[in-house]
Structure 1
Amino acid sequence: MLGPSEQKSGGRVRRSAVAVAIAGALLASGCSSGNGQGDDELQIVTNPVAATAPVSPAPSVPPAGTVLPSAAVTAIVTDPASRTLAVASGQDVLLYRSDDTAAAPVRVAVDGPVEQLDVSGGQLLATIPAKGEVARIALPAGQVSVLKVAGQPASAVMAGGQTLVAVRDRKAIDVFQGDALVKTITGGLYSADQVLRPGDHTVVLDRLRTAVFSVDVAGGTVGEGLRAGDGATNAVTDSYGRVLVTDTRAGALLAFSADPLLLRQMYPVPGGVYGIAYDAKRSLAWVTLTGRNEVVGFDVRGGEPVEKYRFPTVRQPNSITVDEQTSRVFVGSATGEGIQVIQP
């Protein structure tokens, strides 16, 4: 699906977006049907390595807004329904009140380091790859139940009463009904790193192949795949049925439609783009630049992103989330320099 301005112009988009869509179709029009890496149209190098966040320099200016003390943050997310800010740090998930972050948080102990947090289906899903678990945390009280997963769960999301779990090492999407595994979906993936639900569709991000794939959950198959730049790292869904992806190696923000899966935009974002969050109320995509200790807000309603905000951040701003009700942006430092709160 195109953004509003693209729809109003009768399908005509700015030249850069059109060129990127054509180039994407030419470079990544197909995907390998097997797991072998010998003749893969999506593969960039012989031995692919997943991109990681560039190391941040020492900050040259104070961070914008206020900073809450915290140990190293690995993931951060907000829940607008319960007015909760959830922060993963060490083997704890800290639950702050979004409207009073100065108050002491509820501390929820989990079995290992959390890699990713997602609010989905009215609960917080915390993936713990080292323990083969997804912690399901009720908000705002913090009661925990554990979903056991074979392998290393990297991401989880609810879809129609089922829990979809991206399992990195098994290159699979596991489908759970309650605690019962009902289906495993494989094919063509080198690494299942993030599962997303743009509208009624399912897309998985593969960091090793630096690609995105459509997934037919009902049919149990991995569908077409498209290259996602030179080093895709993180992704979110937006209000227009798209998946927004940070290409950390090439320094770009990518936008893919989900139906059909197609690269619509590639916008240059230099400085070590890595973390990403989306404000649906304002159509703003917020990205962190770990190479510069900055956060940038882009309006993504049109044919290409338009920069609206730019702020200095805490060191190593690997994780970010936004409270749609207040537009406040929360940035987590991966080096233990706090949780930054910015009011644009």
Structure 2
Amino acid sequence: VPAERSDEILEVSLPGGRVRATPVGRFPHDAAAAGGRLWVGDELGASVSVVEDGRLLAQLAAPIQPGGVAATTDRRHVAVVGVKERAIEVYDSRTLQSRGKADVGIGPTHVAGAGGRFFVVDTRGNALLEVRLDPVRIHRRTHLAGTPYGIALDRARRRYWVTLTAQNRVAEMTDRRILRYFPTVRQPNSVAVDPDSGRVFVASRKDGTLQLLDPGRYTDDGTRIR
């Protein structure tokens, strides 16, 4: 858990709840696990902190104002999205070396890793961008009106869930098209998926409410199958 005000990353052991705090860069905003390490985006430090076994292993240069951080499914690559620089940089999780950087839209905010790819939410550009790695580049742009923001990946069902904050909806997507929409709580900034049941959780920044959504399986005619 990034602790922005204290410049720390907090690791909480389950089920006991023991907390281990490790100092990182300025204003840690997001984090991802890869290669036995934690990768932490330092939003006000233009860096990514790499933490291993409760100690700071390295601080790497990152795109300006790093927001979203994610890893590929095999955990071999980590991506950091710079909100102000409007760029994504990809790192090798073992060597800590940069694999390359590319511009991503006009207002990227969040990123998710899937297989050997990354998907970036371009909030101002109303799009979901598929980023390939060899070389690092935008491979596909899917238009997504409604100020997209939060993203969650359901790997078991190969679905992407993206919140649309201007429309109070969440979109269910494949990697290249929108399947359907569901109404949500107001200003749905955050979304998560239970990998076992497929249940979707949507959180509101406006009033702090949490919505639970059981979408059922998608069919081509738009009906739900429980």
Give the shorter-chain TM-score range.
0.7 to 0.9
- Structure 1 or 2, whichever has the larger Rg, is 1
Partner-residue secondary structure (3-state), 2:186: coil
Of 98, 118, 123, the match for 1:243: 118
- Give the equivalent residue in structure 2 for 1:122: none
The structural deviation recorded for 1:138 is 2.1
Gaps spanning 5+ residues in structure 1: where?
1-125
- Give the equivalent residue in structure 1 for 2:151: 276
Amino acid at match of 2:214: Q
Q: Which structure has greater helix proportion?
A: 1
Larger RCO, structures 1/2 (Cα 8 Å, 6+ apart): 1
- Give the equivalent residue in structure 2 for 1:224: 100
Amino acid at match of 2:196: Q
* 8 A Cα contact 1:322 1:329, kept in partner: yes
Amino acid at match of 1:192: P
- Give the equivalent residue in structure 2 for 1:312: 183
Partner-residue secondary structure (3-state), 2:5: helix
Amino acid at match of 2:202: V
Of 28, 48, 73, the match for 1:153: 28
- Give the equivalent residue in structure 2 for 1:186: 61
Q: Which structure has greater strand proportion?
A: 2
**Structure 1 residues 257 and 140, CA, compared in 2 at 3 Å: closer, same or farther?**
farther
- Report how many aligned residue pairs link the two structures: 213
Amino acid at match of 2:187: Q
Amino acid at match of 1:155: D
- Give the equivalent residue in structure 2 for 1:72: none
Q: 2:41 & 2:192 partners in 1: Cα distance?
A: 21
* 8 A Cα contact 1:132 1:150, kept in partner: yes
- Of 142-151 and 327-336, more deviation after overlay is shown by 142-151
1:90-239 equivalence runs, <5 A = 126-186=1-61, 189-198=63-72, 199=74, 200-238=76-114
CA RMSD across the alignment: 1.8
Please report the TM-score for the alignment, with normalisation by the length of structure 2: 0.87
Amino acid at match of 2:82: D
Q: 2:181 & 2:83 partners in 1: Cα distance?
A: 27
Q: 1:262 & 1:151 partners in 2: Cα distance?
A: 28
Q: Are 1:326 and 2:197 counterparts?
A: yes
- Give the equivalent residue in structure 1 for 2:223: none
Gaps spanning 5+ residues in structure 2: where?
216-226
Q: 1:167 & 1:176 partners in 2: Cα distance?
A: 12
The structural deviation recorded for 1:221 is 4.1
Partner-residue secondary structure (3-state), 1:193: strand
Q: 2:208 & 2:25 partners in 1: Cα distance?
A: 34
The structural deviation recorded for 1:340 is 0.2
- Give the equivalent residue in structure 1 for 2:127: 252
**Structure 1 residues 197 and 317, CA, compared in 2 at 3 Å: closer, same or farther?**
same
Q: 1:289 & 1:194 partners in 2: Cα distance?
A: 17
Please report the TM-score for the alignment, with normalisation by the length of structure 1: 0.58
